Homo-oligomer: A and B are copies of this chain.
Amino acid sequence: MDFIPDPSLDAFRHEIREAINADLPTDLKEKQIAYAGSQNEPEDSLTWMRILDKRGWAVPHWPVEHGGTGWSPMQLYIFNEECTNAFAPDICWGSSHMCGPVIYTFGSDAQKERFLPEMRRGDYYLAQGFSEPGNGSDLARLRTSARREGDRYIVNGQKIWTSSGYFAEWGFFLVRTDPTVKPQAGISFLMIKMDTPGITVRRIPQLNGESDLCEVFLDNVEVPAGNLIGEEGKGWSYAKFLLDHERTTSSFIFFNKREVARARAIAEAETQDGVPLIRNPVFRDRLTRLEAEATALEWSVLRELSKEEFKYHPTAAASTLKVAGSRLQQAICELEMDLLGARSLRKFAYDAHDRDAAPLWPDYSETVTPRALVMRASTIYGGTLQIQKGIISKLAFDL
């Protein structure tokens, strides 16, 4: 064991930080601060990808031949941390972390050439069409059908929880191309242009005022057969590949570290009888417990990145990061609301530009509760807390 970080990484971090400081437009940054990580407007993601692309940093984790940087896992970690700390918008996850990797791993050369540069450059947004109403954690029950007719698929069905579906130009869909084989074997991975006739998108209002998640209805949508990625019937294994691909993202370690620092700042700013709440031992202790948990989480991520020999199945570690990270996200938000007390209850307009000036109210009172409300989803999406626990007990203990 040697826990001393490579000192050369300091210089790397410095370089990244300077570059982001130079490149990140003030208006984007301010909007991210205003949303405090509870929202990310998809057009901002594209703007930021285009900016990053100029340095060749839009998809740093991709293979070098497709525009990646060749950075080490620790360098990628630092890059992502610096982006988060600078309040840069998220990039389009659908292209960078989901559809992109599937295409460069399983797609044809033509597909690579067609899609990867556009994705990397942030030319358009990609929406994910995996979940369907009624099969949240159970992809085997997928019902959206794609019937082959000549050189086209005719797609019918309904997708849900599609982030920024209303904005996306392309979507990547799991569809059932063969209803006769066992459920997992009949699924395929299809690229569909979102303006194809027969597609209707409905934005779903969420409990915090946001409506980024969408329902996508597909009614006899005609898709060129060339939009099939990889082999027909392999969609299930591509989806699994995606889930196994990224082991540390679901820890949301950078957001967690940033938010726990914000909770401390709020505890220092909010007062009771003139005394900052950070000096109230009950609030202070709660905060410190979260700081400890965030420290543990950070080192759990480092263990993962450093390829620790692990006596359990690696996916058990990935699920652990998800469980610990999602609980921490919720606990931090809950503390922030509790610090604000009744002043956490005011509903401000969700969109930053619709908010009235409220000089009697601190800025963070506009953002704490929307974030806290939507963070109830952190133990739901990407496999619920219960699904994660099931994975852990199975893979770590063979139960």
Contact = CB atoms under 8 A, between A and B. Distances in A.
A72 interface: no
Contacts of A285: 282
Nearest to A285: B282
Contacts of A282: 281-282, 285
A281 B282 CA distance: 6
5 contacts: A280-B281, A281-B281, A281-B282, A282-B282, A282-B285
A285 B338 CA distance: 15
4 shortest interchain CB distances as A-B pairs: A281-B281, A281-B282, A282-B285, A282-B282
Contacts of A280: 281
Nearest to A283: B281
A103 B285 CA distance: 55
Interface string A264-286: 00000000000000001110010
A280 B285 CA distance: 12
Copies of this chain, count: 2
Most buried by B among A280, A281, A285: A281
User: How many A residues are at the interface, by size bracket?
Assistant: under 10
Interface in A343-374: none
A292 to B, nearest CB: 15
Nearest to A280: B281
A342 to B, nearest CB: 19
A156 to B, nearest CB: 35
Interface string A54-78: 0000000000000000000000000
Interface string A243-263: 000000000000000000000
Contacts of A281: 280-282
A298 to B, nearest CB: 25
A281 B285 CA distance: 10
Nearest to A284: B282
A286 to B, nearest CB: 10
Interface string A163-180: 000000000000000000
A247 to B, nearest CB: 32
A90 to B, nearest CB: 38
A285 B286 CA distance: 12
A282 B285 CA distance: 8
A282 B282 CA distance: 5
A324 B188 CA distance: 50
A279 to B, nearest CB: 11
A155 to B, nearest CB: 37
Interface string A309-349: 00000000000000000000000000000000000000000
A351 to B, nearest CB: 39
A281 B286 CA distance: 12
Interface in A277-314: 280-282, 285
A285 B282 CA distance: 8
Most buried by B among A280, A282, A285: A282
A16 to B, nearest CB: 40
A310 B282 CA distance: 38
A272 to B, nearest CB: 12
A126 to B, nearest CB: 40
A194 to B, nearest CB: 40
A147 B281 CA distance: 66
A284 to B, nearest CB: 9
